[in-house]
Amino acid sequence: SAHGAVKHFLDLDLLPPDELRGLMRLSHDLKSRRHEIAAEKPFAGKVLAMVFDQPSTRTRISFDVAMRQLGGETIMLTGAEMQLGRGETIADTAKVLSRYVDAIMIRILDHGALAELAAHASIPVINGLTRDSHPCQIMADVMTFEEHKGPITGRTVAWTGDANNVLTSWVQAAQRFDFALNIATPPELAPRPALVDWARANGARVNFGLDPEEAVEGVDCVVTDTWVSMGDAEYERRHNLLRPYQVNGALMKRADKDAIFMHCLPAHRGEEVTDEVMDGPQSVVFDEAENRLHAQKGILAWCLEGAAA
């Protein structure tokens, strides 16, 4: 049964900056003391249910391994193999799972379904990616930035490419962690007005509507992502619009000479990023992928409250 407010991890804009900073410190700590903490098995007796309505490599494996390394267990499900696939409501599913497991991680395109699940669950619900956002990814990204470049507050990150779920979480992170974010997206694939309005209303240092060369000028970090996200149609149109937004060697030269390159992966080599950049000295994409594991240990510990650290 629920006691006190349930600690869901749904979106970065739903958590106050000090809470997110605390969560980040927890992740750094769980990483640096990982062998010692693993021996303590802080998640012993805890079970995480994972529901994947879309494919995943990193999110699935890193959550599974995070639970195992800290002594907990996981149950892996797809929506289709649950009664959800035959029309049982999200609300009823939330109430039933709340009686069995300690937390739910879900990847589902419909963000409303995520919110509905959380509204009816008496256990923490974690957003493992929706069409609208990908907050776990950006916690790992901020962690990776800080390991390579020091505190992110006051620094500048550039995004060039599609205005997708990953970018939305970057915009929210810019406001919450107080860094500048330069954004270059094709006008036809620009961020939704609600996101732009939110950034303005909350004093975020986000510069929308730049071209790629302007966006990356002198920045500390360049980020991009696929041109076609899960659930997207119009493959050909997107490719045509996004081709000028590719991160290649010439574009990276405009960033600070010590700038890092990040990508949540999976990458489409030769499309949004070239091999030269992906495999080059500025790329930290595999550190970033590893940090999904450590960042999510922090998220799980925070959600399960008192279960770790």
Task: Work out how close the CB of 68 gets to ligand CP at its nearest, in angstroms, rounded to a whole number.
Answer: 17
CB atoms within 10 A of CB 38: 15
Task: Work out how close the CB of 233 gets to ligand CP at its nearest, in angstroms, rounded to a whole number.
Answer: 19
Residue 190 identity (one-letter amino acid): A
Residue 282 binding: pick among ligand CP, ligand NVA, none (C-beta 5-8 Å cut-off by kind): none
Q: Which stretch binds ligand NVA (CB under 6 A): 88-96, 148-156, 226-234, 287-295?
A: 226-234
> x/- contact string, 233-272, with ligand CP (CB under 6 A)?
-------------------------------xx-------
Among residue numbers 114 through 143, which ones bind ligand NVA (CB under 6 A)? 129
Of the candidates 258, 223, 23, 226, which has an alpha carbon nearest to the alpha carbon of residue 143?
23
For the record, the structure tokens of 258 come out as 């010590």
**Three-state DSSP class for residue 36:** helix
Cα 294 versus chain centre, distance = 13
Q: Which of 8, 46, 58, 120 binds ligand CP (CB under 6 A)?
A: 58
226 binds ligand NVA (CB under 6 A): yes
Sheet of strand 156-160, all strands in order from the earlier edge strand to the far edge: 206-207, 180-184, 156-160, 221-224, 260-263
| Tokens 């290649």 found at | 248
Q: Which of 74, 93, 130, 137 binds ligand CP (CB under 6 A)?
A: 137
- Determine which one of 8, 102, 141, 264 is catalytic: 264
Rounded to whole angstroms, the Cα distance separating 100 from 184 reads 45
CB burial of residue 261 (10 Å; 0-12, 13-18, 19+): buried
Residue 156 binding: pick among ligand NVA, ligand CP, none (C-beta 5-8 Å cut-off by kind): none
Give 172's strand partners.
none
- Determine which one of 120, 292, 294, 296 is catalytic: 292
Q: Which of 32, 57, 83, 240 binds ligand CP (CB under 6 A)?
A: 57
Asked if 246 is an active-site residue, the reply is: no
Q: Which stretch binds ligand NVA (CB under 6 A): 93-101, 151-159, 222-230, 288-296?
A: 222-230
Rounded to whole angstroms, the Cα distance separating 59 from 268 reads 18
Residue 207 binding: pick among ligand CP, ligand NVA, none (C-beta 5-8 Å cut-off by kind): none
Asked if 134 is an active-site residue, the reply is: yes
Please tell me whether the peptide bond between 266 and the residue prior to it is cis, using omega within 30 degrees of 0. Answer: yes
Residues 101, 49 contacting (CB under 8 angstroms):
yes
Asked if 232 is an active-site residue, the reply is: no
* Positions marked catalytic: 107, 134, 137, 225, 264, 292
Interface residues with ligand CP (CB under 6 A)?
Answer: 56-59, 129, 137, 264-265
